Amino acid sequence: MPPAAAEPLTPERILETTEEVLRRFGPTKATVVDVARALGVSHGSVYRHFPSKAALREAVTDRWLARNVLTLEEIASAPAESAPSKLEAWLEALFESKRHKAGDDPELFATYTVLLAEHSGVVDSHLNQLVDQLDRIIAEGVAAGSLAAPDVPAAARAVFNATGRFHDPQYAAEWLSPTILTEFEAVTALIVRGLRA
């Protein structure tokens, strides 16, 4: 019986393998050669899909961050919830997601922080998506009369910045504090009260 055909080399397969390699070696030690070896192909085959190590690392980070954006989008788009409730749920989901990523997937979280330090376009795009979701939630609340914001985009950016301690990777070490949830709830309550019409 002839051997089974090898699984085709696709960008998705490369990204899945790269995540595993990053978890094993970390963002500074993982190489394209390591990824190719794990796939059983030449590094040139990987470069046909991703032109550089940086492009591959950005694609992995983009894929990883996209999962978070989808969850938050479900909250932002929920038709039956009031804007204040959505805002609270969205901020809580963002914080929980970042805490879990830092604790449950530290190697990929480290890759994200490396890209953040490099001012990556992937990270900028991710942050803009998050602020856009906040913008839509606040705009919906203004339209319904449950929130007040004379400049919705500025309010969305302000909310995002004001809650930075609970989602910016530079504060990840503080997320283990026994008082962090109480502090998060106090900030969130203050923001929602401040935006109520």
| Whether pLDDT at 29 is above 60 | yes
**Structure-token pair, residue 27:** 């963002």
List the end-to-end C-alpha distance of the chain, in Å, as a whole number.
73
**79-99 confidence digits (pLDDT tens):** 989 999 999 999 999 999 989
Residue 78 is which amino acid? A
Question: Looking at residue 114, what is its pLDDT?
Answer: 75
Question: Looking at residue 183, what is its pLDDT?
Answer: 98
Of the candidate ranges 9-18, 23-32, 86-95, 130-139, the one whose mean pLDDT is the lowest: 23-32
Question: Looking at residue 3, what is its pLDDT?
Answer: 36
How does 25-47 read in b/e, with b if 16+ C-beta sit within 10 Å? eebeebebebbbebbebeeeebe
Average pLDDT for the chain: 89
State the Cα torsion 17-18-22-24 to the nearest 10°.
20
**169-184 confidence digits (pLDDT tens):** 889 989 999 999 999 9
Question: Average pLDDT in the 90-112 region?
Answer: 85
CA 145 to chain centre: 30
Return all residues near 105 (Cβ < 8 A) that are at least 6 apart. 23, 64
pLDDT-derived band at 119, boundaries 50, 70, 90: low
Question: Looking at residue 4, what is its pLDDT?
Answer: 37
Question: Looking at residue 5, what is its pLDDT?
Answer: 38
pLDDT-derived band at 1, boundaries 50, 70, 90: very low
**59-85 confidence digits (pLDDT tens):** 888 888 888 899 999 999 999 899 999
**140-161 confidence digits (pLDDT tens):** 999 999 999 999 999 999 999 9
